[in-house]
Structure 1
Amino acid sequence: MDERHNSYKDMLLDVSLRIDKDDLQRMKFKCDQVIKKRQNEKITQPTELFTALEERGFLSETNLDYVKGLLKTCCGGKIDAIRALENYERIYIPGFVPTVTGPQTQTPPIGQANVHLGQGIPQAAGQQIVYVVQNGNIPDGITNTHQQRQRYEGPDLAKEISFLCRSLGRDWKFFIRSLGLPEDEIETISIDYRTVREKIHQCLLAWQHQEQQSASRYKLIDALRHSSVQRNDLASKLEEGRY
């Protein structure tokens, strides 16, 4: 399987983890003329929607415009999801022009609750952007303290995180604990997210925010080899770049 295909699948997984149930319902509604009603009703996960779009020629490794349009119109223009998609386009799509970069033209009024997922902030190479919540006010759909984060400015570990989300099993908490994420944050995330992959993904984002520049692939490898985890198989793959 070639590198582009792997990156494409990793990107779709990353995007799917950023789409909530309400977003998915709006996306399905928007696709009612593309996907027949009977199959549309059976879709319960973003990845299933992506598969259906691929089968109909509306999504491929070189054609992401339709999905990007869905993210903009059905998901409130989620900058984190669009940025994950555009990070892939930047590498594999000739003539790519980003849509979520550029200077912020207006300062939000004082007292207004705003969430920016990297919008308006020049992004250096290797950065990942997570939530910024202003004034302590949490908008609808963002309910937990673990989501009230400033900008992440550490190394880009998107591929490693995607690999771990796919590969870790039900003993994932031992791995997250070995990274040093506080137990109360692990439990909060565990309650708030439904699937194991979502829980792992959110915990690793929280760990990145905690570590900032100290976050590294080597810390992930050490945690996998910890006596409480003993996932040497995954550690070896990270060491050898086989993910």
Structure 2
Amino acid sequence: MDPFLALLHSFSSSLSDGELASLKFLCRGRIGKRKLESVQSGAELFTILLEQQLIARDKVSFLEALLESVKREDLVSQLKQFVEEGEVKAPDDQPDVHEKRLQKAAIEVICENVGRDWKMLIRKLGVSEVKMDRIVAANPLNLHEQLTQSLREWQKWKGKDAKVTDLIKALRGCNMNLVADKVEEKLLPLSIGTR
């Protein structure tokens, strides 16, 4: 199932009749009157917008403006989240088995040894504040889980470009040298075992 179409479908089902009428009115300059009169649901309106290429997975500014105009900030934030998170990575964009093993070991060490300053590390890795806030909200009062989920988010985001060397570099960039040393110590036997 196309994630963008699923998102549009969820938007459609949450629109009130008044909001749909407002959206139709706002589209008058872009869609013919006769076509608009036949629209009975958000899904039908979104279908027309897709057909006329006014919206697409990578072209959401018109849709965002429409949703803002009808004061649906909740839907605007869902749309922004969708754009920010992008598509689910393809299987060929995943790290190889050896790199995954190294990452798993490195993440265990990091989660055992990085404390309250974990956000500094995650920022250094390039994970957005929005994603971190969402992870914190989902796991309140559980630092270990917040860090674990944030590192998984980084792995998912980077795909096959997620490297243990990046984790070590980020640790050193945050002056977490002791943790970086522990990661390297743990990985040394794993690295030698694959040669």
TM-score between the two structures when normalised by the length of structure 1:
0.38
Q: Which has the larger radius of gyration?
A: 2
* Larger RCO (CA under 8 A, 6+ residues apart): 2
